[in-house]
């Protein structure tokens, strides 16, 4: 029995679960650039990595000939929330989108950035399966923002 216990202790001390790839883990990273209202670049493992916020969509700054309605405001608000700060990046089901950007929920301290952008009227919900952990919340927050004519809901058609 003592030999079995010693062997078991040795195996447990030696065995470590395989580390999750850095791209899938919940990580903290400094923001190096704000691209627009729902996309940032962070420094991850010494490499600049593009992050696309999950579940939301802000008007496009770089849209064909001219920026979409409220795109500059959304980009400015995102910059105010995250520029020069460390963000906590949390995955859902899929790691990357078709453009190879990491898909993440983004937090600065206790602020859920995706939530703030929707509640304040800078973003609309954009649920894409299977990354729908907060889809119902995003819809409810957007409905409240639209009803109170927050942000883009006050000026964009």
- Domains of the chain are 23-155 (2.40.50.90)
CA 15 to mean position of chain CA atoms: 33
Distance CA 154, CA 157 (A): 9
Measured CA to CA, the distance from residue 154 to residue 148 in angstroms comes to 8
* Helix, strand, coil percentages for the chain (3-state, nearest 5): 30, 30, 40
Predicted pLDDT of residue 2: 57
Tokens describing residue 2: 């003592």
Active-site residue, from 2, 26, 50, 60:
60
Q: What is the pLDDT of residue 62?
A: 77
CA 65, 122, 54 angle in degrees (round to 5)? Answer: 95
Whether 52 is catalytic is yes
Residue of 62, 148, 151, 41 whose CA lies nearest to 104:
41
pTM of whole model > 0.85? no
pLDDT at 49: 97
Annotated catalytic residue within 2, 33, 50, 52: 52
pLDDT at site 5: 45
Among 73, 101, 104, 115, which one carries the catalytic annotation? Answer: 101
Tokens encoding 65: 């000939």
pLDDT of residue 15: 42
Contact yes or no for 59/37 (Cβ under 8 A): yes
Q: Is 60 a catalytic residue?
A: yes
pLDDT averaged over 10-residue windows placed end to end, the chain, 157 residues: 47 42 74 97 96 96 81 96 98 94 97 98 96 96 96 91
């Amino acid at each position: 029995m003592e030999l079995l216990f010693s062997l078991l202790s040795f195996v447990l001390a030696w065995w470590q679960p395989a580390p999750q790839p850095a791209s899938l883990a919940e990580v903290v990273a400094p923001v190096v650039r704000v691209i627009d209202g729902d996309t940032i670049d962070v420094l991850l493992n010494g490499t600049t990595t593009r992050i696309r916020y999950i579940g939301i969509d802000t008007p496009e700054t770089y849209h064909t000939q001219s920026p979409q309605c409220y795109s500059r405001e959304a980009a400015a608000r995102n910059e105010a929330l995250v520029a020069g700060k460390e963000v906590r990046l949390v995955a859902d089901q899929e790691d990357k989108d078709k453009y190879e950007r990491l898909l993440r929920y983004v937090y600065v301290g206790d602020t859920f950035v995706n939530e703030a952008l929707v509640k304040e009227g800078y973003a609309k919900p954009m649920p894409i399966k299977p990354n729908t952990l907060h889809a119902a919340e995003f819809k409810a927050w957007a409905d409240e923002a639209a009803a109170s004519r927050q942000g883009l809901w006050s000026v964009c058609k």
